[in-house]
Amino acid sequence: MSSLIPLDNIGVEYKSHGQAPRKVLENLDLEIAAGEFISVCGQTGCGKSTMLRLILGAERPGTGRVLIEGRELPRPDRHRGYVPQKYSLFPNQTVLDNITFGPEMEEFGLWGRLLPRFRSRRKELRHDAMGYLRQMGLQDADAHKYPDQLSGGMKQRVAIAQALIMKPRILLMDEAFSALDPGTRAEMQRQVRHIWADTGTTILFVTHNISEALYLGSRVVVLGRDSPEGSSRVIFELNVPDSARNTSGYPLRDEMERLTRLIEGATDGGQREPETVELREV
């Protein structure tokens, strides 16, 4: 597999007023292959969102390089979809307009919306958007609401639709399911797995939940640090073996539980059992 996104010896440092600069990430190496589904875990504040922002190009590393398909991309673009942890929706637009914003912007640019052609095209785009909305399990009646009339979980699902409609090559999701109830969460997980399988999009999915990470990802990456003040790097990687899933991709419970214990054990510095699964501790 060719490496779509190599992260090479990445370091990130934040300076805050009156405090010594703090290294958040250091010596972070990660190779992301095209078409992978990578789940990123790690304690709160360990730099998961920072890593996503680096891949997006929203932030530049202090040391090291982030390459996307062999090039350093200095700013976010339409090929890298983003579902941020918060502030994902435009508060001044309805749900439907939030979803169609991307395609409209791309096709019509800054002033193209003033063209007469725009109105008929917008109808089609809205139709597409409704499709995504339903796929995300939202009601037609929600389409004309404003974001602050939605619950947290609904917002997250709209944000996913907003990113998906662009059909990005790389999709970066930051705790996108954190506000969902278990039932909706399971349904959304299924949807995202389907989308991944259907489109071959490379996905990075940040989550606190190890079983979610295992269920979704073809690989689980754990960020962590040695001491509370230390900086984070990849401390554990695990390729989720096909043997952990049944033929339709659903996880086998026993296998998942075993892997969960494995990750929890290894990342606590406790006992680990390097065996049949492809396991590489970094």
Partner 1 sequence: MLFRIDARPGRVATWTLSWILFAAGIVLYFHASGIRHADNPDDKVVPSLSQLGHGISDAFLKADADEQDSPDAANVSLARRFFNSMLWTDTVASAKRFGWSMLLLIPAVILGLHMGMFPLIGSFFLRFILFFDKIIALSVLPILFIAFGIDELSKIMLIVIGVTPTIILDTFNLTTGVPPEQIVKGFTLGANDFGVTYWIVLKQILPRVLNSIRLNLKAIMLFLFAGEMIASPDGLAFRIALLRRHMGMNVIIPCVLWVALLLYLVDLTMRVMNRRLHPWFREA
Interacting residue ranges for Mg ion, rule: CB under 5 A: 49, 85
For β-strands 37-41 and 202-206, DSSP reports them as parallel
Q: Would you say 14 or 250 has its CB closer to partner 1? A: 14
Strand partners, 245: 251
Q: Would you say 23 or 245 has its CB closer to ligand ATP? A: 23
Phi, psi of 96 (to 5 degrees): -65, -45
Q: Residues 156-175 vs partner 1: string with x where CB under 8 A? A: ------xx--x-x-------
Q: Residues 52-91 vs ligand ATP: string with x where CB under 6 A? A: ---------------------------------x------
Residue showing the smallest CB distance to Mg ion in the complex: 49
Smallest CA-to-CA distance from 222 within 212, 232, 173 is with: 232
**Minimum distance from CB of 12 to ligand ATP (Å)?**
8
**Minimum distance from CB of 190 to partner 1 (Å)?**
24
Strand partners, 279: 238
Q: Which helix (H) or strand (E) holds 265?
A: helix 253-267
Angstrom distance (rounded) from CA 18 to CA 24: 17
Angstrom distance (rounded) from CA 51 to CA 68: 14
**Minimum distance from CB of 174 to partner 1 (Å)?**
9
Estimate to the nearest angstrom the gap between the alpha carbon of 192 and the chain centroid: 11
> By CB under 8 A, is residue 225 in contact with partner 1?
no
Angstrom distance (rounded) from CA 54 to CA 181: 30
Q: Which of 9, 21, 45, 200 binds ligand ATP (CB under 6 A)?
A: 45
Residue found by looking up tokens 């090479």 in the block: 8
**Minimum distance from CB of 15 to ligand ATP (Å)?**
7
Interaction with partner 1 in 86-115: which residues (CB under 8 A)? 86-88, 90-93, 101-103, 105-106, 109-110
Phi-psi bin for 54: left (phi > 0), alpha (psi -120 to 50), beta?
alpha
Largest CA distance in the chain: 66
Q: Would you say 145 or 185 has its CB closer to ligand ATP? A: 185
> Under the rule (CB under 8 A), what is the footprint of partner 1?
53, 56, 58, 75-78, 80-82, 84, 86-88, 90-93, 101-103, 105-106, 109-110, 146-148, 162-163, 166, 168
Give the residues lining the site for ligand ATP (CB under 6 A): 14, 16, 24, 42, 44-50, 85
